Amino acid sequence: MTQDRPPRRPRPKKPANPLIKGIVAYCGQAGITIVEADDSRSQTDTEHDHARLQLSLAKLPKRYTVYAPLLLLPFNFSTHNLHWATVYSALTDLEKNQLFRCIAEVGFAGAVSRIAVNAPIAAEEGVDVGNESGPQAVDNSPTPRRENMLRSPSGLVPVYGDWGPPAKHRLIRPTSKDFEEAFWTSTSQHKGITQYWAPLYTMFSRGNISEKARILGSLPEAGTTNDVPTPQFAGLTDHELEERIESIDVVDFYVGIGYFAFCYLARGVRRVWGWDINPWSIEGFRRGCEQNGWGCLVVKVDDYGHIVGMNTGDLFERILEGDKTGGKNMIRCIAFLGDNKWANKVMGDIHGMGVEANFRHANLGLLPTSKGSWEGAVEVISRLNGAGTSGWLHVHENVDVRHIETMKSSIVQDIGRMVQGQSIEKEVPWTVSCDHVAQVKTYAPGVMHCVFDIQIKPNG
C-alpha cells in the first residue's frame, strides 16, 4: 500500500513585470519571503528581522517609466502601501543600493543603468542662502522660495547609477565640460523624432504627445483604440497659408528640448527660431537637432538683448551660407539662449541684415500660463511676416474645465487689444479669432491643459 504524499505547493509564477521581478530577486537574497496570494496574515516584524518579513506580490510597486538607460519610479515608490513602506524604510542605504542593483540587473536585464524617483515639476524652488555666522550657527527661519523659471526637475531623486559630478553652478552656468560629464538620455516618439535631455537639469513630458501629433498632422497609430481623428492644427496647410509651408518660419517662445519645435520641422517649415533661458534645455535641443539631421545654431543673448560671442553680421553669414548650400548645411533651427522678451528686437535685427523671416506661427507652451509672452508673440507675428498675411498664436494655458469657453473669449479679447495697438502703428486693421481649442491632458483634478489656436488676420 502506497502512502499518499502531501500535495506540493505550486511554485510561484515568475513575474512578467520587470520592476517586480527585480524586487523579488532582491527579496530572495535578503531572506524576505514573497507569497503569491495577498495574505492578510503576512506581517512585518517590528524588530526588522528580514528573515521573518513577508510580502505578497500584490503589495509590490508596479508602475515605472523607462527611457533607456534611465528608469523612473513614481514619487510614491517608497510608500506604495503600508506593507511595502515598512519593509523599504527598514532597509539601510547599502541594502537599498542592492535592491536597485537587482532591479537594474535582474529585473531589467541590464537595459537600465540609472534609476531615479520622479516628482512633479515644482512651481517654486528653494534658494540657497549663505550663512555668514559660521558653520556652527543654526538658522531655523523658513527657506526662501522663488519661481522655478528654468522648470528644472528639482524633486528628482537619483537612487542608482552614475549621474556625473554634482555641482550647484552647473544648473545656471554650465560649461562644455559639464555638458560632457552629465548623464543624458533620449526617446523617440512620433515619426522617429528623437529628443535628448539631462534628467537632473531639464524636464521631459510624455503627456504632450497628442499636441505633437496634432502639429504633425498624424492619424491615430495602428492598433490603438482611439478612432477619433486628430484635430487639425490650424495654419499648416498650403491652402490656409496661401503659400508653401517650406517658406514659413515658426517662433517657439519656450522651446525647451524641442517638444513642439521638432514637430514643426518634421512637418516641413523652413526654420524654427526657439527661445529658452535654461542652458541645459538649449543643449538638449541642439543634440536633438543633430540626431534628427537638422542644422542648429545656438545664439546667446545677454540681459540687454545683445548677441554674445558673435556679431549680427557673422550670424547672418552663417545662416545665408546654409541657405545657399541647402541640405544638412541649412540652419533649420536657431536656438536663442536668453529671455524671450528680446525676441522681436533680436530677430528683427537679424531679419534687417537680410535673413529671410516669414513668421506665421508662434508657439507659447509655458504652463500654468503663457500670458507673459503674448504681447511679444503679437509683435513678431504682426511685424515679421509676409506682407498682409495671417498668423497664428498657439496659446497653452491651464484652465478650469468649467471655464474653457470663458477663457477662450478672454484670450481673444486680450490678444485683440494687443493687436489693435500694433494695427494703429501699421495702419492695418486686423481681426482676432480662435480657430480651435485642443484639450491636451489633465493637469490636475478639474484642470485641463488646453491649447487655443488664435488667428490674427488682416482685415481688408
Q: Kindly report, residue by residue over 316-334, the tens digit of the pLDDT.
A: 899 998 888 877 789 999 9
Give all strands (DSSP E) within 307-355, no chain letters. Answer: 307-308, 331-337
Q: Are 305 and 284 in contact (CB under 8 A)?
A: no
The rounded mean pLDDT for the chain is: 85
Q: What's residue 121's pLDDT?
A: 55
User: Lowest mean pLDDT: which of 118-132, 227-241, 243-257?
Assistant: 118-132
Q: Where are the domains of the chain?
A: 18-117, 207-458
Q: What are phi and psi of 4, to 5 degrees?
A: -70, 130
How far apart are alpha carbons 348 and 384 in whole angstroms?
Answer: 7
> Who contacts 253 (Cβ-Cβ below 8 Å, separation ≥6)?
275, 340, 343, 362, 363, 364, 365, 366, 370, 373, 376, 377
Per DSSP, what are the bridge partners of residue 304? none
SS3 404: helix
> Who contacts 439 (Cβ-Cβ below 8 Å, separation ≥6)?
404, 448, 449, 450
Rg of the chain taking only CA atoms, in angstroms:
27
pLDDT band at 189 (very low <50, low <70, confident <90, very high): confident
The three cell numbers locating residue 122: 515644482
Q: What's residue 226's pLDDT?
A: 46
Neighbours of 198 (CB within 10 A): 24
How far apart are alpha carbons 54 and 45 in whole angstroms?
Answer: 9
Q: What's residue 138's pLDDT?
A: 41
Q: What are phi and psi of 294, to 5 degrees?
A: -110, 125
How far apart are alpha carbons 255 and 247 in whole angstroms?
Answer: 21
Decide the pairing of beta strands 307-308 and 331-337.
unpaired
The three cell numbers locating residue 107: 529585473
Please determine, for residue 411, whether its predicted confidence score (pLDDT) is greater than 60: yes
Average pLDDT for residues 263-285, to the nearest whole number? 97
How far apart are alpha carbons 121 and 137 in whole angstroms?
Answer: 32
Q: If you classify domain 207-458 with CATH, what class do you get?
A: alpha beta
The rounded Cα 347 to chain-centroid distance in angstroms is 25
Rounded alpha-carbon distances, angstroms, from residue 93 to 89, 99, 106, 160, 173:
10, 10, 19, 11, 32
Please determine, for residue 76, whether its predicted confidence score (pLDDT) is greater than 90: yes
pLDDT band at 171 (very low <50, low <70, confident <90, very high): confident
**Where does residue 388 fall: left (phi above 0), alpha (psi -120 to 50 degrees), or beta otherwise?**
left
The share of the chain scoring above pLDDT 70, in percent, equals: 80
List Cβ<8 Å contacts ≥24 apart for 8-15: 12/36, 12/57, 15/57
pLDDT band at 181 (very low <50, low <70, confident <90, very high): very high
Please determine, for residue 47, whether its predicted confidence score (pLDDT) is greater than 90: no
How far apart are alpha carbons 3 and 326 in whole angstroms?
Answer: 86
User: Lowest mean pLDDT: which of 25-39, 228-242, 348-362, 416-430?
Assistant: 416-430
